Amino acid sequence: MTDWIYLDNNATTEPLPEVIAAVAEALREHYANPSSVHRFGQGVRHRVECAREQVAALLGAQAKEIVFTSGGTESINLALRGLLSMHPERRHVVASAVEHSAVLRVMESLERHGYCVHRVGVDADGRLDEAEFNARLSDQTALISLIHANNETGVIFDVERLSRLAVACGAAVHVDAVQSAGKLPLDVSRWAAHCVSISAHKFHGPKGVGALYVRRRTRLEPLIVGGRQERELRAGTEPVADIIGMGVAADVVRTTMPEMAARVSALRDRLEAGVLRSVPGARVHGVAAPRLCNTSNVGFAGLAAEGILILLSEAGTCASSAAACSSGALEPSHVLKAMHVDPRSAHGAIRFSLSRFNTDAQIDRVVAELPRLVARLGRLNGERPTEEASP
């Protein structure tokens, strides 16, 4: 099928035409090793450094603070494990209960190695419990990790203010900006974070490449050692074509962000209004909190998310039930559990995540089809969706 309505952009995005062209050109013409001393290699090095400047501009950082990685997961692991070297004598770590699995799995590993990890809760709309957050900080806290914009609900944490509270106790701070980069204006120079993780394929760049912002004078232990690439923080020959593509994507989304955000936000609101109007029992999770312009997590009470997704897919629409890397789980996501969402709504929660490529006509088609699909699923289940007040 070539006419998919793609509403799964928090899982991955369609590469921009400019990115595809830049990657193809790099593969054809800029294939030399950027560590080589000959002019061909140094020309390629120049292109890598131009891309570094473009990514830095997206984050409000300096180019020398950008380390290229294979993606968000590696950036997160490098930050979390690397930052612990700043305070080897401390054994206390703090994160929110709604972090991405890449962060939570590291936290589980740290617990197995003797660290005490506190996962700070959120309220019913996904906002961080700041009283609990403050209470958990101490002079024994080695590391704090906070997600900037939640990948499932789009709820945004005020990481500028929270990171300043965190560093007051002397801890190292990491921010997961994988979902917010390219969707929100970022200025990491105003944050107190030591490291910030991003991934190119979340903002219309290639898969397999990401970046880690490492604040100047931050000491970080590398995960991968070997050559001297990336300030000796990430050994291995750089994937030049992907890095160039990431730079192009960063440049395009940065310069078009205000227009894109306004248009996509209007599409999201159009989708939510139509669904809440036409589907009994539907409710939007996190609607009262600040959210990403493109993300809507809708619960369909009394139904199973898997069934809805299958019917949507048959009708040509792509969405998801939780983070893509945790798909297949039968339990509601840890994010909705932390928000204490009613299990009947959580089991039927669908994440719609939009992009600049979506249109009014696509949204109207989904809104028109959903009531029929939900009613069909209700008949298959032998029950009607629970009618409850929508927000």
Cβ atoms of 213 and 231 within 8 Å: the answer is no
Q: Are 285 and 311 contained in the same domain?
A: yes
Residue 391 lies in a domain: no
What is the residue-averaged pLDDT of the chain? Answer: 94
CATH number (domain holding residue 322) = 3.90.1150.10
Q: What is the mean pLDDT of residues 192-201?
A: 98
Over the stretch 292-304, which tens digit does the pLDDT of each residue have? 999 999 999 999 9
Q: Is 293 a catalytic residue?
A: no
Q: With cut-offs at 50, 70 and 90, classify the pLDDT of residue 330.
A: low
Give domain status of residue 148, yes or no.
Answer: yes
Q: Note whether 62 and 172 are same-domain residues.
A: yes
Last residue of a domain, one of 236, 253, 270: 253
Same domain, 67 and 201: yes
Task: Return the exposure string of 310-341: e unless at least 16 CB atoms fall within 10 Å of the residue's CB, then b.
Answer: ebbeeebbbbbbbbeebeeeeebbbbbebbeb
Q: Which of 231, 253, 275 is the last residue of a domain?
A: 253
Which of 116, 169, 195, 325 is catalytic? The answer is: 325
Same domain assignment for residues 44 and 177 = yes
Q: Are residues 74 and 200 in the same domain?
A: yes
315 CB-near residues (< 8 Å, 6+ apart) = 369, 373
Q: Are residues 36 and 48 in the same domain?
A: yes
Tell which of 225, 253, 281 closes a domain: 253
Residues 236 and 195 in one domain: yes
Identify whether 323 is part of a domain.
Answer: yes
* 303: nearest Cα among 241, 350, 368, 366: 350
Considering the domain boundaries, does residue 388 fall inside one?
A: no
The stretch 324-334 carries a mean pLDDT of 66
How many structural domains are present in the chain? 2
| 386 occurs within a structural domain | no
Report if residue 390 sits inside a domain: no
Whether 387 is in a domain gets the answer no
What is the reported pLDDT for 23?
98
Task: Say which CATH number the domain at 52 has.
Answer: 3.40.640.10
Q: Identify whether residues 279 and 213 lie together within a single domain.
A: no
- Domain housing 308: 5-12+257-381
Please report whether residue 198 resides in a domain: yes
Q: What is the pTM of this model?
A: 0.94
- Do both 74 and 223 map to the same domain? yes
Confidence of residue 382 (pLDDT cuts 50, 70, 90): low
pLDDT band at 10 (very low <50, low <70, confident <90, very high): very high
Q: Based on the domain organization, do 247 and 331 belong to the same domain?
A: no
Are 284 and 210 members of one domain? no
202 with 137, same domain: the answer is yes
pLDDT band at 265 (very low <50, low <70, confident <90, very high): very high
